[in-house]
Amino acid sequence: MTDQSLSSPQLPIALLLQAVEAQLPPSVAGWVDRQPVTVVPVTSIDELMVYALRSRPRFIVIDGRSPVGDPLAACRKIKRDPFTGVVPVVYVAPDGMPARVEALDALADDVVSAEMDDAETLTRLRCTLARSDRDVNVHPSTRLPGAPAIHDAIRDRLDTPFAACYADLDHFKEFNDRYSYVEGDRVIRLLAALLHDTVRGLVGDDGFVGHIGGDDFIFLIPRDRVDDVCTEIVQTFDTLIAYQYSENDRRAGYFFGKDRRGQLHRVPLMTLSIGVVTNERRTFTSSVGVSALATEMKTYAKTLPGSVYAIDRRTDDRSEIQTPQLTETGARQ
């Protein structure tokens, strides 16, 4: 098994809590060696936490059969810390069901032992990392895929006719300040459900919805469905958002809030701005280019009144943003 220090920058690290003279079961040792990681052996709980907090590991293996203090306590400490708790922990337990149950009670993500056959051991190890990747790439509030999955989804569509749509709330901070972050989180979840249900309902498996963070979302749809999907989203949003306000604010269409200087000003009800990028007139070679242009279009859409969507109709050799035309739906395109 590789024994290297943190000085190797090209690979993520994996931590192995184990006595110096101990050996992992052959199937576990072989699996660890095949992972694209730099293995860092540690021999105490304190050392384990230092490395885990300094550089989030790809995974941690705790050998519960070797004399390293209290390995179950080490597992609990890793999993109960909010920073290190997302790191998958594989616990190598002594033979016997009671030892496995103890490890699971200590919050280990999975447990293996020498008495397991190789097929079961390798399946457990593989699934541990798969579950971890799924969980850490999902936004905890909306359960939508996060930035890594968004980039993968864009990359997978570069050779197909697609549209990337960047959705962002207007006047969300002022709403948070007036109604509390709890109500703000509820609005975020409402928007996530609206985007997910609309995209799923209109384009099915051809669509994708991701949550960048805060009130920023990306959804990917077939290029020829932009008007249908975006119009449905902005119209439904305008219908639903009014009911997130008090009756007085809803009837007035605004409330009074303070700016950074403490001056009162009218804050309108929230609207939704969507910047749309397609590969109809442009050629993209990476998700980074799509994301950058979608951000630019979202920023432009936010300069327009009301809930709108603005489509980039430029070609690769043009840099100006054309003035959008108002459609009968009240959305801009």
Predicted confidence pLDDT, tens digits, the chain (333 residues): 444 433 434 688 999 999 988 899 999 999 999 999 999 999 999 999 999 998 889 999 999 998 888 999 999 999 998 889 989 999 999 999 999 999 999 999 999 999 999 999 999 999 999 988 887 777 778 889 988 889 999 999 999 999 999 999 999 999 999 999 999 999 999 999 999 999 999 999 999 999 999 999 999 999 999 999 999 999 999 999 999 999 999 999 989 987 767 778 889 999 999 999 999 999 999 999 999 999 999 999 999 999 999 999 988 776 555 544 433 334 443
- In this prediction, residue 141 carries a pLDDT of 81
Could you tell me the two tokens for 67? 């004399």
Cβ–Cβ < 8 Å for 226, 163 = yes
Q: Would you state the pLDDT for residue 20?
A: 84
Q: What is the spatial distance between Cα 96 and Cα 94, in angstroms, rounded to a whole number?
A: 6
Same fold yes or no, 13-136 and 147-311: no
Helix (H, G, I), strand (E, B) or coil at 104: helix
What pLDDT, on the 0 to 100 scale, is given for residue 7? 40
Q: Comparing C-alpha atoms, which of 203, 196, 191, 217 is closest to residue 162?
A: 203
Alpha-carbon span 27 to 41, nearest angstrom: 18
CB neighbours (10 Å) of residue 185?
Answer: 13
Task: Give the pLDDT of residue 232.
Answer: 97
β-strand 89-93 against 110-113: which pairing, if any?
A: parallel
Q: How far apart are CA 260 and CA 180, in angstroms?
A: 18
d(CA 270, CA 238): 8
- Range 85-109 burial, b when 16+ CB lie within 10 A, else e: eebbbbbbbeeeeebbebbeebbbb
pLDDT recorded at residue 264? 82
What pLDDT is recorded for position 1?
A: 47
The domain over range 13-136 is classified in CATH as 1.25.40.20: no
In the chain, domain spans = 13-136, 147-311
Q: Which of 44, 52, 46, 106 is nearest to 75 (CA)?
A: 106
The backbone torsions φ and ψ at residue 77, rounded to the nearest 5 degrees and listed phi first, read -65, -40
Contact predicate 96/88, CB 8 Å:
no
Residue 115 to residues 19, 100, 112, 184, 196, Cα–Cα distance (Å): 20, 11, 8, 51, 45
Q: Which CATH class is domain 147-311?
A: alpha beta
Output the CA–CA distances (angstroms, integers) from residue 60 to 10, 100, 104, 248, in the order listed. 18, 17, 15, 54
